[in-house]
A and B are shown apart, each in its own frame.
Chain A
Amino acid sequence: DTGVSQNPRHKITKRGQNVTFRCDPISEHNRLYWYRQTLGQGPEFLTYFQNEAQLEKSRLLSDRFSAERPKGSFSTLEIQRTEQGDSAMYLCASSAAGQLSYEQYFGPGTRLTVT
């Protein structure tokens, strides 16, 4: 039984470059969430999917951010034209919709540093 995995674990990029992160949820989970966490703050919701459908996007998610889950399995989060303010830990979580338990389990995160 594997947990949520994320790749890469660390990414350093220069301002203006595009980056893409991948998340593989727990295999039987059909809901997948993206959060962002900066130092001293709790995670902030970005967007989430049920299967391949994107159900909600936060106002935090500017038009430079896009997320996909094309086959309802793994998901990608792309940030275009990165800015220094995008530096954060990007966290992916998954849960099993339709069950009595609504627990979300997090992956190890991708730490993005924009220089």
Chain B
Amino acid sequence: QKEVEQNSGPLSVPEGAIASLNCTYSDRGSQSFFWYRQYSGKSPELIMSIYSNGDKEDGRFTAQLNKASQYVSLLIRDSQPSDSATYLCAVNKGVGSGNTPLVFGKGTRLSVIA
């Protein structure tokens, strides 16, 4: 079983719709969870971090964490064409403070259609 799994997509949504991106992880000791956005040819850009079960909202983005189900999701409301990118789910490896190297999924490619 891969450590962090994401659907590779592409996920296509119309402009203005909600995009829902999902991620599962295998290490029950993980404590820190992140979503990065990566445009083609660029480096990953951090958009959300979440450490506790539940929802965390920041502007149009909402991250959801369920540690019992080992599941993390990202919702993007009012999707814009500029949101078209690959979204990477990342989880810290190992047990500890949570400040450890990250394990990434392969990413989900999102396409927002105008």
> Is A108 an interface position by the 8 A CB rule?
yes
Residues 9-51 of chain A, each 1 if its beta carbon lies under 8 Å from chain B, else 0 = 0000000000000000000000101010000111111001000
Dominant secondary structure of chain A at its interface with chain B: loop
Residues 66-98 of chain A, each 1 if its beta carbon lies under 8 Å from chain B, else 0 = 000000000000000000000001010001011
Complex CA–CA separation, A33 to B88 (angstroms): 17
Which A residues touch B104, using CB under 8 A?
42-44
Which B residues touch A40, using CB under 8 A?
106
**Could you tell me if A102 and B43 are in contact, using CB atoms closer than 8 angstroms?**
no
A74 to chain B, nearest CB (A): 17
| A45-B103 CB under 8 A given contacts A91-B43, A102-B97, A108-B43 | yes
- Count chain A residues whose beta carbon lies closer than 8 angstroms to a beta carbon of B: 27
| A48-B43 CB under 8 A given contacts A42-B90, A101-B49, A102-B49 | no
Known: A45-B93, A98-B99. 12 other contacts (CB 8 A): A42-B105, A43-B44, A43-B104, A44-B104, A48-B101, A58-B101, A102-B51, A102-B97, A102-B99, A104-B102, A106-B43, A106-B44
